[in-house]
Structure 1
Amino acid sequence: MSQTSDWPLPQGSLRYIIPQRLIKLLEKHPLTRELYPISFGHYQRAKGHSMNRSQHKDELLIYCTEGEAEVVTGQQALKVVAGDLLYLPAGEAHRYTTLDNNPWTIHWVHYSGPLASYFRQYLGFSGLNRRINLGRQPRLLVDFNGLLSVQDSGFQEQPLIHASNRLRQLLTALPLSHKRPQVKQQTDLNLPLLQEQMRDHLNTRLDLDSLAATAGLSRYHFIARYKQITGETPIQHYLQMKIERACYLLDTGESSIGSIAEQLGYEDSYYFSRLFKKVMGVSPGNYRRVNRY
């Protein structure tokens, strides 16, 4: 376990450190052994807060919502400001100091487990990247505060198992928080507008040229940029939206498969069924039979 700051807490702050005996339990429990918190907290206007770790044994995420701090990690010197998410990986010495004239307010969590290295890539901290600007994300604060709900539980097993799974929720939600800022920075695509156009045309057949025209790009550049952002081509994403809607119609109504195909702009129900099976792995009829409760 890495050293946690013993810096005195200012008013409105909280630091929660899980006892070693319970960390050992979380390391072995089947519901938590893949990923578990070690300590977490919230520091409000943390004047005088500093840390210097020559040995760092776990992962540390710090989300700054106010103020600023100077950070040195590995070979990098960083300035962390409000809206930044800072990642300090296990095994990398680091030090940080907030500024007396503008102390930071932060939410933070130390965590470990076999999934931690996978989450590093999932969160977008590839290579030497240690900082991502998220801006103000109220939903993210809800997730961080969800960890703190374990306080006053008396170090009981079940609340800590719950906190471990709240940590997983927090980490899986983070890329959703910084997806839009990255899109704005890397491309000129208005992704929300394009996807709204797709949703508005789920009952018809929207062609690639119309989407490319909305984006103001050639077909080639539009496909390349869209896939760079989402990992899928625009038509693949549009098809998956249609199949998602088809699942909803199959789950909530009694319409025939042919009628659902027509509602989604497909005159040929057999063609629609092939597309459905390609995405879902089963035919629409089998999907309806298996998922009826």
Structure 2
Amino acid sequence: MQQLAEHPLSRGLYPLGIGYYNQAAGHHMERVEHDDYLMIYCLEGAGLLQVEGLKYSVHAGDLVLLPKGVSHSYRALKSRPWTIYWAHFHGEDARAFYEHLREPRQSAPLLLTSLGFQSRLAGDFEALLELRESTYNLNAYICAANQLRQILTHIALLQPLMRNRDKAESVDLERVHSLMQAHVHEHLSLDTLAQSVNLSKYHFVKRYKELTGTTPINHFIQLKIERACHLLDTTGNSINEIGYAVGYEDAYYFSRIFKKIMGVSPSQYRSMRTGAYAYRGGGPR
């Protein structure tokens, strides 16, 4: 990380560690000395946070930002363990971002804000995780640093919108789409999506289609294929590995779904980068 701390394109803000915990039962942490900045975005469940003796509850849709130098502890709620993205970061601009995001006149030594379920924000975290898994070189690190900057600036845009949002919205699409983004690498049932917005499966599908023009499962598949295209474009992973990374254990079935959406097979799609295969059109991307 010394390279990032010194490079002019990353020294302002750079990640030290990033991750994703799914229903993290038993997850807990305590730090008496904290020498970097910590961000937690809770997608599901709940957790308990204590900062310099003050206690807070963290619920689905909440974002926590802790500055360096504050003692703290946190843990997942036993009855409803949280699902979270997290990132430790530092840099010359880290303090300025923290102060920029804090609520006006907030005296507590942290930011705790409700953003709701933001699909784009979840997607940004997923992109940051992908960079963590990419080839470890300076360019990948610099890209991750600027992806982190994008996440923090996006949060600044979301805060006033969330304060003024309509609480009576019948279907929280951001909640649904955030769950899809968070689970794009695995299976996600229609029952789980419907339960997330407190609707029966029938009424959920009906309302979702009225709002979006498609079904929730079709949209989820579309997200998986978009992620697969990104992996085909940016990695040398095999077709089997990419299918598995987006939740398809059967490579043949993955190829069928991919071709149905894209009009070409995964291998043909990858060949288009080198000109070995000419794209002649297909389904919507």
Q: TM-score range by the shorter chain?
A: 0.5 to 0.7
Match of 2:39 in 1: 61
- Residue among 103, 120, 123 paired with 1:142: 123
Query: Which residue of structure 2 lines up, in the alignment, with residue 174 of structure 1?
Result: 155
- The TM-score, its normalising length taken from structure 1, stands at 0.53
1:25 Cα deviation after fit: 0.4
Which of residues 14, 36, 41 in structure 1 aligns to 2:14?
A: 36
Q: Which residue of 2 aligns with 1:111?
A: 89
Q: CA deviation at 1:184?
A: 5.1
Letter in 2 for 1:169: Q
Return the letter of the residue paired with 2:94: A
C-alpha separation in 2, matches of 1:36 and 1:152? 16
* Counterpart code for 1:86: V
Q: Secondary structure at the match of 2:23?
A: coil
User: 2:29 maps to which residue?
Assistant: 51
Instruction: Tell me if the contact between 2:132 and 2:144 (Cα under 8 Å) persists in the aligned partners.
Output: no
Distance, in Å, in 2 between the alignment partners of 1:101 and 1:183 is: 31
Q: Distance in 2 between matches of 1:29 and 1:119?
A: 19
Q: Which runs of 5+ in 1 are unaligned?
A: 1-22, 186-293
Asked if 2 retains the 8 angstrom alpha-carbon contact of 1:48 and 1:98, the reply is yes
Q: Distance in 2 between matches of 1:109 and 1:134?
A: 17
Cα distance per residue 1:76-95 (max 9 Å; x no partner): 10010101001111000000
Query: Equivalent residue of 1:55, what SS?
Result: coil
Query: What residue in structure 2 maps to residue 89 of structure 1?
Result: 67
Q: 1:133 aligns with which of 76, 93, 114?
A: 114
Query: Would the aligned equivalents of 2:4 and 2:10 in 1 still touch at CA under 8 Å?
Result: yes
Point out the structure with max Rg over C-alpha.
1
Q: Tell me the SS of whatever aligns to 2:131.
A: coil
Partner of 2:217: none
Q: What is the root-mean-square deviation in Å for CA atoms of aligned residues?
A: 1.5
| Alignment check: 8 A CA contact 1:27 1:36 kept | yes
Q: Partners of 1:55 and 1:120 in 2: how far apart?
A: 18
User: 1:181, CA displacement in angstroms?
Assistant: 2.0
Identify the match of residue 151 of structure 1 among 132, 137, 140. Answer: 132
Runs of 4+ more than 3 Å apart: none
How far apart are residue 127 of structure 1 and its match?
A: 2.9
Q: Please report the TM-score for the alignment, with normalisation by the length of structure 2.
A: 0.55
Instruction: Name the CA distance, whole Å, in 2 between partners of 1:82 and 1:184.
Output: 16
Identical counterparts, % of pairs: 39
Q: 1:221 maps to which residue? A: none
Taking the aligned partners of 1:175 and 1:38, their CA distance within structure 2 comes to 21
Q: Which residue pairs with 2:52 in the alignment?
A: 74
